[in-house]
Chains A and B, each alone.
Chain A
Amino acid sequence: MIRNLHNKIINKEITSEKLTLDYFDAIGKKDKDIFAYLSLTKELALEQAKKVDEKIARGEEIGILEGIPGAIKDVLCMEGVRTTAGSKILDNYIAPYDATAVKKLKEAGAVILGKTNCDEFAMGSSTENSAYGPTKNPHDLSRVPGGSSGGSAAAVAADEAVWALATDTGGSIRQPASLCGVVGLKPTYGRVSRYGLMAMASSFDQIGPFAKTVEDAAIILSEISGRDDMDATSAHSSGKRYEDYLTGEVKGMKIGIVKEYFDSLSEDMKKAMESVVESYKKMGAEIKEIQLPHSKYSLAVYYIIQPCEVSSNLARFDGIKYGLRMDDEKDTDMADLGGLDGTPRTLLETYLDTRKYGLGAEVKRRIMLGTYALSSGYYEAYYIRAQKVRALIKKDYERVFNEVDVILTPTTTAPAFKLGEKVDDPLQMYLEDIFTVTANITGVPAISVPAGTIKVEDKNLPVGFQLMGKWFDEENLLRAADAFEKSKCKNQNAK
C-alpha cells in the first residue's frame, strides 16, 4: 500500500496534502464511533505534507515513506504534542522531545496524523483501560480492538491511517493486529531504540509497526531500527531495507509448529490455523513438529517480572516533576501504616493522592503486585525464580531454532471479544497474551498476519496467525509472512 501511494505521489496523481486531508476526512467521519485517536496533529501533518509536495514540484527525489500519513501510539513522546499514555496522570503533559523512533519517522518525511488511544501505560488487552474511554473494533463496534495498542490497530483497520507505530510488551501489537485484521510486527528486543517510550517493563518493551501489508511493516521497520546512544540496549543495524527481502519464496524453509497449541483451539480457530499450515506446505515449506516444554510457564513468568519492572518504572509518576499533582488536604489513613517513616506528612500526601487519583485500577494492581513480589522476604521466591524459568524458556527457543527457521502459532485463541466481557476479571484478560508473551520473554521477533475470518453472530471477524523468528532475523520472518500474504492474494484473485 505504501509503495502504491508513493508511486502516486511521485507520478503526481495525488499530492501528499490531498492524501493527508483525505485521511483527516476519514477520521472526521469514523472516529466518533471508533475512537482510535486521543489527539490530532493536523497543523504539523499538513506542514509536513506540503514540504513533500514542494519537493515533488521541484523535481526532487523523495523517500518511500515521505508524505505517507500514519499515527503514533500515545505512549511515545512527540515534541510539543500532548502525550498521555492513556492516563489521567499525564492529561496535561506536553512532551519536550521526540522519541527516537518518532524522530526517525519524521526524518524519513512521514506525515503524522495524531496520537492513538491505548490501555493506560500500555497495560491491558482491550484498550478498555484507557482513562479516556475504549476504542471499538472497526469490524464490530460492540467488540474490543484488542490492546494495549487498540487505537493504532483500529486506525489502520478503519483506514484512518496508512500505518501506525505502537509498542509490544506481552502482545500489545500482535493481539490487536489479530483482532482487527491487520499486520502487526514486534521486532527483536534491541532492534528499535526505546528512548522516548513511556517505559512499562523495560526488559520486554519493544516498538513496532501496524500496517495493511507485510511490505508496509517492513518499510516502517527499515526506517526506525538501529543503534541509539540514548538506549543502551539498542543494537547496531547494518542499514538493511527489510522490504528488499520479500521474495514470496519459502521453498525449503523449515516452519515449526507446536501440536498442543493447535489442539487447544476451538474448531473454527483450528480450521483457520490448519489452512495457513496447508498454504505453507503448498508453497514448499517444510512443517516440523517442535516441543517447547517450558513455554507453558511464560504467562506466569511474565506476570511476575513485568509488574516488578512496572512498579519501578512508574515510580516517576509522583506529582513532583510533571503531570498531575494532587493533594486533597485530607490526611489519608494510609499514612498511619509502616514503610513511610521519615517522609514529611505534606509531601507524603502529595504522593499518595496524586497516584490515587491519577492512576487507574489495572495500573495500580500491577504496581502493587510488583511491589509485593520485590518486597523483603518475597524477592527470591518470586522475582529470582521467574528469572530462572525465563532462562529455561529461552533455552528451549535456542534449541528449537537450530531445527527450524520460524515458529508458527495462533496469535490469539479467538476473535475479538465483547466490550465489558473480561474487564472485571484480570486473569481472563491476562490469558489473552498466552501465545504472544513468549516472544517478549525470549526477545525474538514476531509478527501477526491476517489468517482469515471466523463467523460470530453473523459477523465475519478477523483472526491472525503468528510467526516467530530467530533473534535479529527479521528478514526471514518477514519473508515467510509476506509469502503467505502473496499466496492468499493469488488465491483470492483466482476465485
Chain B
Amino acid sequence: MISKDEVKHIAALARIGLDEKEIEKFSTDLSSILDWIEQLKEADIENVEPISHITGMENITREDKAEDFENKDGIKKMFPEEKDGYDKVKSVL
C-alpha cells in the first residue's frame, strides 16, 4: 500500500504538483499496479544477468566536435520568456 505521504514524496521527487484528490487517487492506483507487478517475484532469476537493451551495443562514440544547427531562431522562438536572445528563467541559485 502506497500511503498519501509516500505519494506526496514521490510527486515532490518527480516535480509534479498534485491536489488532494489526485493524491488520494494515485495512492489507490499506484498500490493496485504495484500489487499486480508482485507476480514477478515468482520468476527464478538466480544467476541471470540483467539486460537494459536488446541490441547489446556498447559505447557508440563520435568525435566531440561542435556542429552548427541551422534553425537557431526556431529554438529561440520556443523559449517561454525571451530576453536579449536568451531564455529567461527564474533564479536558480
Contacts and interface: CB of A to CB of B under 8 A. Distances in A.
Interface in B35-87: 36-37, 39-41, 43, 45, 48-55, 57, 60, 62, 69, 71, 74-75, 77-81, 87
A324 to B, nearest CB: 8
Contacts of A79: 71, 74
Nearest to A335: B12
B43 A334 contact: no
A392 B90 contact: no
Most chain B CB neighbours (cut-off 10 Å) among A96, A203, A356, A386: A96
Interface of B: 2, 6-19, 22, 25-26, 29-30, 32-34, 36-37, 39-41, 43, 45, 48-55, 57, 60, 62, 69, 71, 74-75, 77-81, 87, 89-93
12 contacts: A94-B77, A294-B43, A311-B14, A318-B15, A325-B81, A332-B17, A334-B8, A347-B90, A355-B17, A369-B34, A388-B50, A389-B45
B11 A300 contact: no
Interface stretch (A29-37, A46-54, A337-345): A337-345
A347 B91 contact: yes
Contact of B17 (A203, A301, A356, A389): A356
Mostly helix, strand, loop or mixed at chain A's interface? helix
Given A322-B79, A337-B12, A372-B10, A388 B30 contact: no
Mostly helix, strand, loop or mixed at chain B's interface? loop
A96 B16 contact: no
A315 B15 CA distance: 9
Contacts of A471: 54
B30 A394 contact: no
Contacts of A315: 15
Interface stretch (A13-21, A113-121, A227-235, A276-284): A227-235
The 4 A-B residue pairs whose C-beta atoms are closest, nearest first, are A96-B74, A387-B50, A356-B17, A443-B54
Interface string A429-449: 010000000000011000000
A203 B15 contact: no
Given A97-B71, A337-B9, A387-B52, 20 more contacts: A96-B77, A96-B78, A304-B40, A322-B78, A346-B91, A353-B17, A355-B14, A359-B16, A364-B18, A364-B26, A365-B29, A371-B10, A385-B40, A387-B51, A388-B49, A390-B50, A390-B51, A426-B29, A427-B32, A471-B54
A427 B13 contact: no
Nearest to B32: A427
B43 to A, nearest CB: 5
A364 B54 CA distance: 27
A321 B80 CA distance: 7
A207 to B, nearest CB: 16
Given A346-B91, A364-B22, A388-B48, A94 B16 contact: no
A234 B12 CA distance: 35
A176 B19 CA distance: 33
A303 interface: yes
A301 B52 CA distance: 12
Interface in A336-381: 337-340, 344, 346-348, 350-353, 355-356, 359, 361, 364-365, 367-369, 371-372, 375
Most chain A CB neighbours (cut-off 10 Å) among B18, B25, B60: B18
Contacts of B78: 93-94, 96, 321-323
Contact of A344 (B11, B50, B93): B93
A320 B62 contact: no
A97 B74 CA distance: 8
A57 B21 CA distance: 63
Nearest to A332: B17
